Amino acid sequence: MDIFSKSKTSTICKKCAQNVQLYGTPKPCQYCNIIAAFIGNKCQRCTNSEKKYGPPYSCEQCKQQCAFDRKDDRKKVDGKLLCWLCTLSYKRVLQKTKEQRKHLTSSSRASHQEKEQYSRLSSGSHYNR
C-alpha cells in the first residue's frame, strides 16, 4: 500500500510521510514506545527532551521511563511528573470534565428557571385577577 494513497484508515501526517520516504519505516522509541524513531532508537521528541532536560524518569501514570523533568513545578500536572502522552491524556480528560460541568450547570440553571416558571404558572398568580 502506498503511504500517500488516501484511505479511511490512514493516519500518517505529511511530515511522517516525508520521513518514511527518506528514512524508511520508523521503529518504536526506546523511551516512549511511540513508533516514530526514524534515525536511531529514539523519537525526535525524546531526543530533544533528553538533550534539554537530561535522562528520562519514570512517568507517575504509565510507569515507563519516558518523563522528562523540566525542573519547573508549574510544568508538572497536578504536581506529578508525567510523560508527554499521559500529559495529553490527562489534559483531554480535564477539558472533557470541564465541558461536562459547564453543560450540567447551565442545564441545571435552565431547569431551575423552568421550575420557577412552572410554580408561578401553577400558583395562578397571573390568572386569578
Taking residues 93-112, report their average pLDDT: 78
CA distances from 42 to 46, 61, 116 (A): 6, 21, 61
Q: Give 36 or 112, the one with higher predicted confidence.
A: 36
Q: What is the pLDDT of residue 129?
A: 39
Read off the pLDDT band of 76 (50, 70, 90).
Answer: confident
> How big is the CA angle at 73 (ends 100 and 86), to the nearest 5 degrees?
50
In this model, does residue 84 exceed pLDDT 60?
A: yes
> How big is the CA angle at 74 (ends 69 and 76), to the nearest 5 degrees?
45
In this model, does residue 80 exceed pLDDT 70?
A: yes
Give residue-wise pLDDT tens across range 17-57.
899 999 999 999 999 999 999 989 999 999 999 999 999 99
